[in-house]
Structure 1
Amino acid sequence: MKILQALFFPPEQPGGVSSMIPFMQDRFNKRGWEMELFSLPKRVRSKGTEPVSFTTFDWEAYAGHPVVDKYIQTYKDYVWWTKMRLQGKYDIIHAHHPIVGLVMKQLFPDTPVLMTVHSSYERELILNGKIIANGPEHNFLTSIYRELEERVDQLITVSSSFKQYLSEYVQEPEKIGVIPNGFDEKRFRPVPHDNKVPQLITVCRLVPAKGLDILLLACAELKKKGNPFVLHLIGDGPIRQELEQMAIELNIYEEIIFYGYMLHPEDFMPFFDVFVLPSRAEAFGSVFAEAALCGLALVGTNVGGIPEQISHGQNGLLVPVEDVQALASALEKVISDPIYRYNLGRVAWDKAQNAYSMSRVVQQLKNVYRSYRKSE
C-alpha cells in the first residue's frame, strides 16, 4: 500500500504535527508500508493562478478580506506546487490541513483522501486579535469544515472536545473519527534529576491565545508569597517583547528565561519539574503529551482537549481559563511539595505511554487505512 502524508508546513518546521509525521513515517516504513511526505515550501508564494471554487459555499462572497485572500492564494499555490511535484499514484492520501485536503481531493478525485483537522485556525485568529468573531473571515474559515465534509472521504480530529466543536459546522458529526496525536517514546523520556529550586517550563508560540500573560501574573503571585522558582519560556512570536516588558514590570524578569525558538526542546525538557501552559483554546495540546512522556507534572486550563489529557489531581492540575489566582495556587501546590509533584509526573508518564505512544497511533491508522484499501 502506497500512502502519501500531505502536510502544509515542511517537516522541519516547529509544531506538533510537522514534527510528529516523520517519526510516524519511519514506523510505517520499517513495517513494510510505503509512505511518502509532501508539503509546500516556504519559498512558494503567489505562484498559483488557477480559479478556486467550492461546492458548498461561494467563497467570493468573502473576497477582499486579507485572511480570506491569503487563504485562497495559498490554496492556488498548493495546487500549482502539487501539480508540478506529484506525478505518481497513491492508494491513500492522508492530509493534515484543510487546504491540503481539499487540494488533494481536487487533483486526485479517485484516491481516498483522509483529513485530520488538528486545530482551529479561526479560534486562534480571534484570540490573537486578528479577526472578529462571526465576522466575514470567521464565517469563511468555518464554512471550510462543511466543504471538507462534502469532499474528502473521512474526517478525523485529535480530541473528543474538538469533534464537538466541529459538529456545529458539519451535517454528520457522528462520522468524524477521533485519533489523538502520537509521540515517539524514544524522543521523550524521563531523566533522574534533583533541582533545588523548582523549574517550570512552557513551550509554545508566543501569542495571546496561549495565555502567557496569565502565567506571568500567576508567577508574580508566587514570588510575592516567597515561593522560589524559575520559569523557562521556550518559543517565539509577536508578543515576546510585550511579555519581556511585562516580566520587568512585575519584578519577575530574573525568575524567567526567554529562550526564543528551539527546534528540539525535548532534548532537555526532562530535566525540569513542571510543565505549565494556561491556554485560552487548545484542540489537543500536543506539548502536554510530550511533557507527560518526559515525566513532568502538568498544569493546564480546563479547555479544549487539555482535560482529556489531564485528570485533575491524578497526573496534573486543571484551572479555569483566565484565572490568575487559581493558576498561582495550582503552581504553589506542585512546587512546594516535591513528593506530590513526583507522583503527578509518574502518573502522567504512565498515562501518556498508554494513550499517546507512537505505536498506538500507528496501529489505529493502520486499521483506518486498511478499511479504505478493502473498500476499493
Structure 2
Amino acid sequence: MTILHISAVKSWGGGENHIENLCFELAASNPEVKNVVLCVKDELFHQRLSKTNITTETAPLAINLDVRFVLKIIKLSKKYKADIIHLHDPSAIVLAIIADKFASLPPFVFSKKTSFPIKNKKGTLYKYNYSKIKKYLCVSEETKRITAASIIDKEKLVTIYHGTNISTKNTQTPFLLREKFTVDPSVKIIGIIGNHIRAKHFETLIEVVNEIVNEQKRTDFFFVQIGTFTDRTENLLKMVAALELENHICFLGFTPHASNFIPQFDALLITSQSEGLPLVIYESFYHCKPVISTNVGGISEIITDGVNGLLAPVYDFKKVSEKIFYLFENEELIPKFTAISREKLITNYTSTIMAKKTLELYKSVIYGNEQKKSTRHFN
C-alpha cells in the first residue's frame, strides 16, 4: 500500500506534527506501507522533514493554485502508484481536485483538524463534498459534529483522535527558561505553545496576564509563549507594551521542538477561541504537566474540569485567571490531574493507536466491502 500525503501548509504546527507521527508509526508497525509526503518547497515543514527518513517530495506554492504543485501531485501519484491520497488541509483539497480533473487520481481521504465550520458557499461545499473524498478523519467528536453540517454523506465521517509519539520524547532544549529569563524559583512558569493565528486568540492570553499582574497585583507568574510569528504578532506586541507587561510575558517565536520545553513549565495554558484538539495537550499529559484551557473544540473530550485539568469559558480572561490561581493554591491537585491524564494518554491517545486506526481506515477505502471490520466508529 502506498499513501501520498499532501500538505499545502507553509508553517509547522500540530497538523504537520500529525503527519510526521503518522508516517513514523506506520513505518515502524507496517513497513509494507509506503508513505510519501508532498509539501511546500523550502518552507518550515520541508525543513523539518528533510531531517527525517520520511520520503519527502516538494513543489513550489507561490500562489494558492500554483500549477507546479498541481502537476507534482499528478507526477507523484503515477511515480509511486499511490493507492490513496491523504489530504491534510483545505488548500490541499483544492490542489488535488484540480489535479484530478487532468488525471484520474486514486481515492482521497481528508483529515479535518479544526473545528471551524465549513462556509456555506457553493464553491466551498463542492470542494468538501468532492466525490473522490471517501472518508473524513475528524480529530474530535466536536469536529465531526460541526463538519457533519456541511457534508452530504455523513457515513463518510469518522473520528480518529490524534496522538503523541511516546517513543521519541526528548527534553533537550538550547537553553533553560528560568536561566534565560532570570525567573526566581518561587515564580511559576506558565507555558503557551501555538503559532500566532486567529484560532489561538492570544489577545485573551494578554488579557489574562494583565488581569493577574496589573489588576490582581500578582508577580509570582511568568508567561512564556512559543510559536511562529505572523502578521498578527505586531499587534500582540503592541498590546503587551501598552499594558506594560514586557517583564511578565515573553514571545519566543518559532522554536524547533517546542514541546521539549514543556517539562520546564509549571502548567500549560491554552486560550484558544477555536480548536480541533491540540496535540500540545497530549504532550503535556506525557510530561505530567497540568493543563488550563478554554473549553473549545474537542478539548472537553479529553479534559474534564476539576478531574484531570481545568477549563474556562472561551474569551473569559477573568475565569482563566481564577483557574490559574486555583491550581497553585491547591497544588495537591496537580499530581492527581497529571496521573489521570497520563493514564488516558497511554490508553487512548498515542500515535501508535492513531496509526493503527488510520491504517484500518485506509484498508476500508481500498478494499471496500472486502473489509469485514466496520470502520465507522474508531474512538
The reply to whether TM is greater than 0.5 is yes
Q: In 2, distance between residues paired with 1:270 and 1:347?
A: 17
Contact 1:199/1:229 (CA < 8 Å) preserved in 2?
yes
For 1:316, the aligned partner's letter is: G
1:94 paired residue number: 86
For 1:211, the aligned partner's letter is: H
Q: CA deviation at 1:359?
A: 1.1
* 1:326-364, Cα deviation, whole Å (9 max, x unpaired): 111011111333222332223222222222201110111
Contact 2:60/2:69 (CA < 8 Å) preserved in 1?
no
Q: CA deviation at 1:268?
A: 1.8
1:115 paired residue number: 110
Q: In 2, distance between residues paired with 1:276 and 1:188?
A: 20
Q: CA deviation at 1:318?
A: 1.0
CA 1:312–1:145: 2 relative to 1, 3 Å: farther
Secondary structure in 1 matching 2:247: helix
Work out whether 1:181 is the aligned partner of 2:162.
yes
1:139 paired residue number: 121
* 1:263-283, Cα deviation, whole Å (9 max, x unpaired): 211222122111111111112
Report matched runs for 1:315-330 at 5 Å. 315-330=308-323
Secondary structure in 2 matching 1:338: coil
Choose which of 149, 154, 160 in structure 1 pairs with 2:141: 160
CA 1:315–1:372: 2 relative to 1, 3 Å: same
CA 1:349–1:163: 2 relative to 1, 3 Å: same
1:295 paired residue number: 288
Q: Name structure 1 gaps, 5 residues minimum.
A: 48-69, 124-133
Q: CA deviation at 1:30?
A: 2.6
2:34 paired residue number: 35
CA 1:363–1:83: 2 relative to 1, 3 Å: closer
CA 1:46–1:238: 2 relative to 1, 3 Å: closer
CA 1:155–1:263: 2 relative to 1, 3 Å: same
For 2:3, the aligned partner's letter is: I
1:17 paired residue number: 15
Q: Name structure 2 gaps, 5 residues minimum.
A: 43-58, 173-177, 179-183, 371-379
1:53 paired residue number: none
Contact 1:296/1:348 (CA < 8 Å) preserved in 2?
no
Q: CA deviation at 1:110?
A: 6.0
Q: In 2, distance between residues paired with 1:346 and 1:356?
A: 15
Q: In 2, distance between residues paired with 1:334 and 1:255?
A: 19
Q: In 2, distance between residues paired with 1:184 and 1:108?
A: 36
Work out whether 1:199 is the aligned partner of 2:189.
yes
Report matched runs for 1:195-344 at 5 Å. 196-223=186-213, 224-226=216-218, 228-235=220-227, 236-344=229-337
Secondary structure in 1 matching 2:121: helix
Work out whether 1:82 is the aligned partner of 2:73.
yes
CA 1:39–1:195: 2 relative to 1, 3 Å: farther
Give me the TM-score of the superposition, normalised by structure 1. 0.79
CA 1:316–1:94: 2 relative to 1, 3 Å: same
CA 1:200–1:46: 2 relative to 1, 3 Å: closer
Give me the TM-score of the superposition, normalised by structure 2. 0.78
For 1:152, the aligned partner's letter is: I
For 1:196, the aligned partner's letter is: S
Q: CA deviation at 1:36?
A: 2.3
* 1:240-268, Cα deviation, whole Å (9 max, x unpaired): 23222322332332111221111211222
Q: CA deviation at 1:237?
A: 2.2
For 2:275, the aligned partner's letter is: E
Contact 1:5/1:35 (CA < 8 Å) preserved in 2?
no
Q: CA deviation at 1:284?
A: 1.9
Q: CA deviation at 1:22?
A: 2.5
Q: How large is the Cα RMSD of the aligned pairs?
A: 2.9
1:172 paired residue number: 153
Percent of aligned pairs with the same residue? 21
CA 1:225–1:349: 2 relative to 1, 3 Å: farther
Q: In 2, distance between residues paired with 1:142 and 1:161?
A: 20
Corresponding residue pairs, total: 335
* 1:119-176, Cα deviation, whole Å (9 max, x unpaired): 26778xxxxxxxxxx7xxx73674255433x331222211111111111211222430
CA 1:139–1:347: 2 relative to 1, 3 Å: same
Contact 2:191/2:225 (CA < 8 Å) preserved in 1?
yes
Q: In 2, distance between residues paired with 1:256 and 1:286?
A: 23
